[in-house]
Amino acid sequence: MLPFWITLAGAGLASAATKFAGVNIAGFDFGADTTGTANLASALPPLTALNGPDGGGQMAHFATNDGLNMFRLPVTWQYLINNNSTVTDTSTLDATNFGKYDMLMQSCLSTGANCILNVHNYARFNNKVIGQGGPTDAAFANLWSQLATKYANNTKVIFGVMNEPHDLPNLSTWTKTVQAAVTAIRKTGATNHMILLPGTDFSGAQTFISNGSAGNLSTVVNLDNSTTNLIFDVHKYLDSDGSGTHTDCVSNHVTDTFTPLAAFLKTAQRTAMLSETGGGNTTSCLTDLCQTLTFINANSDVFMGYAGWAAGGFDQTYALAETPIKAANGNYTDVPIVTQCIVGTRKNSTA
């Protein structure tokens, strides 16, 4: 029989909340698709200073009024180099575009939060897989070396190596690509930053163990062969096909996904970050997502945190909007999925 406190934690009744919780602030990734192409004309910097949506004000609101402390800031590789047709082993960051992205990063950091720099390319550049017919590992390492150099002195920046790899010809080869990025980051002197390691199946939490991501990514190491601050990056949507495109949810996926994942992480003594999840403004999603995040908060020994998808450039017409609504007086009001699930499950979770 289990000691009573394990039973309680397992049921999500009593536990500390995860260290990190927050929301994705999308916009610099707009125009990207799952083939790794990017129409840069569609990128929408979520900053009023750049004549865009008020991502900075949203983050300040989330941090001040909701106690959220982590934001994920997606951007495409193409945007960072301002070239959506060509990348080489020596492509440099475009000063203007990186400068705009850095404005969002600084706006995030100014709230006191941790901020995930997320390259939103699905393991690809223009429909070709990195290290497997597309840009070389050296090209990807060069990108990360430049990015890590910019933030090497600030461990509040979390490096999200890649958004949602999928349909990889060879997962073992992809793991070498991830290792190349990690090595490049660490060599800049950014030795203590958290790095998020992305597996296949769109970083799907449900198949993380069964489809090889867990085993392969477990081999990725720091310069000293340790795995300190190397965190598995997982995503999970709760709609019928797990795509995050429907407003209704069908499961909290606690039993088939998060319980076995937590058990794996405990045994392996590793941690994971749920960097995308969400749901529509519906009874089914308010029920399921709150149950999912209650479980994640209750297992904060292995889950570092979570980020809802998404606010930033999305308006209220977006199916999974987590964008707060701005009143005439400038105050923000949260949508129910944020109030009840992203924020509420932490308030209900007491140590």
Ligand X SMILES: *[C@@H]1O[C@H](CO)[C@@H](O)[C@H](O)[C@H]1NC(C)=O
**CA Rg value for the chain:** 19
311, β-bridge pairs: 25
CB of 331 to ligand X, least distance (A): 4
Tell me how far, at minimum, the Cβ of 225 lies from ligand X, in Å.
Answer: 4
Residue 4 C-beta: closest distance to ligand X, Å: 36
Residue (of 348, 338, 347) closest to 61 by Cα position: 338
Q: Which residues bind ligand X (CB under 6 A)?
A: 37-41, 65, 83-86, 153-154, 167-168, 170-173, 176, 200-201, 207, 211-212, 215-216, 219, 224-225, 281, 316, 329, 331, 335-336
Give the span between the Cα atoms of 183 and 329, in whole angstroms: 48
User: To 10 degrees, what angle do helices 137-150 and 171-187 make?
Assistant: 30
Catalytic-labelled residue, pool 137, 164, 239, 288: 164
Distance CA 276, CA 274 (A): 6
Using CA atoms of 11, 15, 16, 21 in order, give the dihedral in degrees to the nearest 10.
10
Residue number with CB closer to ligand X (112 or 266): 112
As a whole number of angstroms, the distance between CA 53 and CA 313 comes to 6
Q: How far is the CB of 127 from ligand X (least distance, A)?
A: 9
d(CA 13, CA 200): 32
Residue whose CB is less far from ligand X, 5 or 133: 133
Burial of 322 (0-12, 13-18, 19+ CB in 10 A): buried
Shortest Å distance, C-beta 46 to ligand X: 18
Of all residues in the shown chain, the one whose CB is closest to ligand X is: 215
| Residue with smaller CB distance to ligand X, 227 or 299 | 227
Q: Which is nearer to ligand X, 48 or 172 (CB)?
A: 172
Q: Would residue 276 show up in a list of annotated catalytic residues for this protein?
A: yes
- According to DSSP, the residues that pair with 197 across neighbouring strands are 232
**Amino acid at site 196:** L
Question: Shortest Cβ distance from residue 329 to ligand X (Å)?
Answer: 5
Token pair in block for residue 186: 């660490």
Residue pair 28/43 in contact (Cβ under 8 Å)? The answer is yes
56, 311 Cβ separation under 8 angstroms: no
- For residue 247, the one-letter residue type is T
Beta strand residue intervals within the chain, DSSP E:
20-26, 70-75, 114-119, 124-125, 128-129, 157-160, 195-198, 230-235, 272-277, 303-312, 325-326, 332-333
Is residue 81 within 8 Å of residue 98, measured between CB atoms? no
CB of 333 to ligand X, least distance (A): 8
Pick 121 or 200: Cβ nearer ligand X: 200
Residue 164 a catalytic site member: yes
Residue tagged active-site, from 66, 137, 239, 276? 276
Where in the sequence numbering do the catalytic residues fall? 164, 276
